[in-house]
Structure 1
Amino acid sequence: MIHNPFANGSMPGSWKMGDTIPIPKPGKDPCRPESYTPITLSVLLKLTEGMIRRRLSALLPHHPRQFGFTRSRSSSDVVTIVIGKITRGLNEFGIVKYERPGGGAPTRHAHRHRSLVVLIDFSTAFDTVDDGKLFGMLDRLRRLSPRTKRWLHNYLRGRYVRVCTREQHSRKQLTSAGAPQGSVPGPQLFLHCVDDLLRRLDNIYSAAAFMHADEQTLVASGADIHACAAGMQPALSLISTWAAEHNLKINVAKSEAALFYISLHTLSDGDMVDLHLGNGQIRIQSRSVRLLGNTIDRLLNFGTHAPTASKQTMLRR
């Protein structure tokens, strides 16, 4: 019953009917639709997906800087690598020349570099990924057999969903985009889509990019905040262009840019620089950021994260 649809590159229409269950996000307003994560479940399709999971994982390669939904990788790997990148940037030195008042010979001093981290938030990325772009990427993969490609095309087309909550069901609705959340192939297909972005970012050497599923982190270093911004902006411009091509929306309001530096001098608002991202701007700030559940402060001493993590651990006991 399960082997024949895959062998024929097709799928029964009744299997494409999914029940979407809205899962509330912690601490969000329950009266707003964006405060829920939609999980779509289909019992028969779930069983079929489980049987082909290993085959798809082997056939769909993922970029080495993608850490989400990947065997032997986790969010902790991203946090460790990003902190390492920040630290290496802070350990670099440059020579700064200071002019003496009165026209004397200028003095030179060693100056620690800065590190800039940008966290990019994609709005409902799983639900809005362009199926047409995804089909084109799958068709270009030589490792996929024609039968597998037909099955994946059939799997993504003609899907219907209905919202189920409190034993009530909405009318069924045809979906025209997105990778099914809660499915087994859904994350694999989404990762394959964003791998194209990571491959493009490989050509920008002034900033390093990492992803955990749809959460993207970039790191750049430089002698000062302006050098960091100059190294980061080409990557942000590329991401903005790629997102527009694939109909993905960047939530600029939730995206962050934080500057890390070792100095007793506190930067004022006048020292900060704006970065262009999508249709808006994000201002570089000197403050803590939350990366995949870990609060990273400017001095990397985890003075903010450690007490919070300790309190949460005690509550679980």
Structure 2
Amino acid sequence: MPEDWKKAIVIPFLKPGKPPTTPSSYRPIALTSCLAKAYESIINIRLTFTLESEHLIDAHQCGYKKGCSTTDHIVRLEQEIRQAFLHKQFCLSVFFDLEKAYDTTWRYGILRDLANLGIRGRMLNCLHDFLSNRTFQVRLGTVLSRIFVQENGVPQGCVLSTTLFIVKMNSINRAIPRTVMHSIYVDDLQIACRASSLSSCERQLQITINRLTKWADQNGFRFSAQKTTAVLFTLRGLFPEPALKLYNINMPVKQEHKFLGITFDRKLNFLAHINALKAKANRALDVLKVLSHKHWG
């Protein structure tokens, strides 16, 4: 693979509502060669065909998989909560957030996992070459920084990166017991447990959380203790707040959480999601009213 195809131009974009003086407030957008993207697309088609035809990817992973979408996981989670309500149970769910997931992905681990899945020979050599000697420059306006070497992680803005990241996430299902329901969409991980007693839910999920943190340590990942949250779904009026820990830090418990574009609230009436859609529609209508003014529209 030519060296120019391995080079990226990174342009930082300020996130909405974030202070411009903080580096973490910017989202890096990586621009790569168009020829490189075409080449990667060919390799990606062949790789995903093998992974899907041989059923090598976890069935609970719906990210960029043919015939699957975010709707699959949204419906599965809703059904799990509805079943808990039907049997007068608690349903405790944890929504994980991986810190800088793409940037911290262990490259050797990707190649090792590919080999364990049976991807070897020319394909494995091609992917090793793709991940090696990656460089990037940061551009601000017309000014370019010096060239940096990306020593770890999957390259941002590349067609193959998401597939390789999914391969690295594939072994996470071994850390989750069968008694715990889970959903994965690329790097969005959710686990849930329902039971008649809240303590039973807490016990099963805490065991799973401990196993997941161990898996993350072994694979070069780390969960965000601040952004990982829990939601207790129940129709009961009075109940104690669940107590879960991540890295020995008390996990925040919220009344609602946005998962794959849908806001799940504690009683599953979707009022928070409906209100958000209503506000968004009203803003769009306000813009249309201005554009369709009688003097110019």
User: TM-score under structure 2 normalisation?
Assistant: 0.88
In the alignment, residue 75 of structure 2 is paired with which amino acid?
A: T
CA shift, 1:145, in A, is 4.0
* Residues 49 and 183, structure 1, Cα contact 8 Å, conserved in 2: yes
* SS of corresponding position for 2:220: coil
The answer as to 2:246 corresponding to 1:277 is yes
**Residues 20 and 253 (structure 1 numbering): CA distance in 2 closer, same or farther, change over 3 Å?**
same
User: What CA distance in whole angstroms lies between the structure 1 residues aligned with 2:225 and 2:190?
Assistant: 14
In the alignment, residue 278 of structure 1 is paired with which amino acid?
A: Y
* SS of corresponding position for 1:20: strand
Counterpart of 1:57 in structure 2 is 48
Could you list the per-position Cα deviations for residues 36-87 of structure 1 after superposition, in whole angstroms to 9, with x for gaps in the alignment? 3323222131121122221121123421111222233222322221111111
Counterpart of 1:238 in structure 2 is 211
* Residues 252 and 278, structure 1, Cα contact 8 Å, conserved in 2: yes
User: What CA distance in whole angstroms lies between the structure 1 residues aligned with 2:158 and 2:124?
Assistant: 18
**Residues 24 and 293 (structure 1 numbering): CA distance in 2 closer, same or farther, change over 3 Å?**
farther
* SS of corresponding position for 1:253: coil
Of 167, 189, 192 in structure 2, the residue corresponding to residue 192 of structure 1 is: 167
User: What CA distance in whole angstroms lies between the structure 2 residues aligned with 1:24 and 1:122?
Assistant: 21
* Residues 275 and 281, structure 1, Cα contact 8 Å, conserved in 2: yes
Q: How does 1:131-146 map to 2 (within 5 A)?
A: 131-142=107-118, 144-146=119-121
Of 263, 279, 303 in structure 1, the residue corresponding to residue 271 of structure 2 is: 303
CA RMSD of aligned residues (A): 1.8
User: What CA distance in whole angstroms lies between the structure 2 residues aligned with 1:46 and 1:23?
Assistant: 22
In the alignment, residue 21 of structure 2 is paired with which amino acid?
A: C
Q: How does 1:107-186 map to 2 (within 5 A)?
A: 112-142=88-118, 144-186=119-161
* Residues 7 and 134, structure 2, Cα contact 8 Å, conserved in 1: yes
* Residues 260 and 298, structure 1, Cα contact 8 Å, conserved in 2: yes
Counterpart of 1:66 in structure 2 is 61
* SS of corresponding position for 2:61: coil
User: What CA distance in whole angstroms lies between the structure 1 residues aligned with 2:190 and 2:199?
Assistant: 19
In the alignment, residue 27 of structure 2 is paired with which amino acid?
A: T
**Residues 128 and 279 (structure 1 numbering): CA distance in 2 closer, same or farther, change over 3 Å?**
farther
User: What CA distance in whole angstroms lies between the structure 1 residues aligned with 2:6 and 2:178?
Assistant: 43
Larger radius of gyration: 1
In the alignment, residue 180 of structure 2 is paired with which amino acid?
A: A
* Residues 14 and 27, structure 2, Cα contact 8 Å, conserved in 1: yes
**Residues 145 and 135 (structure 1 numbering): CA distance in 2 closer, same or farther, change over 3 Å?**
closer
**Residues 120 and 314 (structure 1 numbering): CA distance in 2 closer, same or farther, change over 3 Å?**
same
* Residues 225 and 272, structure 1, Cα contact 8 Å, conserved in 2: no
In the alignment, residue 80 of structure 1 is paired with which amino acid?
A: V
* Residues 175 and 212, structure 2, Cα contact 8 Å, conserved in 1: no
The answer as to 2:221 corresponding to 1:248 is yes
Of 156, 166, 178 in structure 2, the residue corresponding to residue 205 of structure 1 is: 178
Could you list the per-position Cα deviations for residues 141-160 of structure 1 after superposition, in whole angstroms to 9, with x for gaps in the alignment? 32x24011101001101101
* Residues 46 and 184, structure 1, Cα contact 8 Å, conserved in 2: yes
User: What CA distance in whole angstroms lies between the structure 2 residues aligned with 1:290 and 1:255?
Assistant: 12
Kindly tell me the number of residue pairs found equivalent between the two proteins.
Answer: 280
In the alignment, residue 188 of structure 2 is paired with which amino acid?
A: E
User: What CA distance in whole angstroms lies between the structure 2 residues aligned with 1:315 and 1:131?
Assistant: 44
Aligned-pair identity in percent equals 26
User: What CA distance in whole angstroms lies between the structure 1 residues aligned with 2:261 and 2:114?
Assistant: 33
Instruction: Provide structure 2 residue ranges, at least 5 long, that are not aligned to the other structure.
Output: 286-297
User: What CA distance in whole angstroms lies between the structure 1 residues aligned with 2:120 and 2:107?
Assistant: 19
User: What CA distance in whole angstroms lies between the structure 2 residues aligned with 1:53 and 1:86?
Assistant: 36
CA shift, 1:251, in A, is 0.6
In the alignment, residue 51 of structure 1 is paired with which amino acid?
A: I
The answer as to 2:257 corresponding to 1:289 is yes
* Residues 158 and 174, structure 1, Cα contact 8 Å, conserved in 2: yes
The worse-fitting range, judged by mean Cα deviation, of 149-158 and 296-305 is 296-305
**Residues 213 and 15 (structure 1 numbering): CA distance in 2 closer, same or farther, change over 3 Å?**
same
CA shift, 1:12, in A, is 1.7
Could you list the per-position Cα deviations for residues 265-298 of structure 1 after superposition, in whole angstroms to 9, with x for gaps in the alignment? 233xxx223212235231445x122212222111
Q: How does 1:13-32 map to 2 (within 5 A)?
A: 13-32=3-22
The answer as to 2:72 corresponding to 1:84 is no
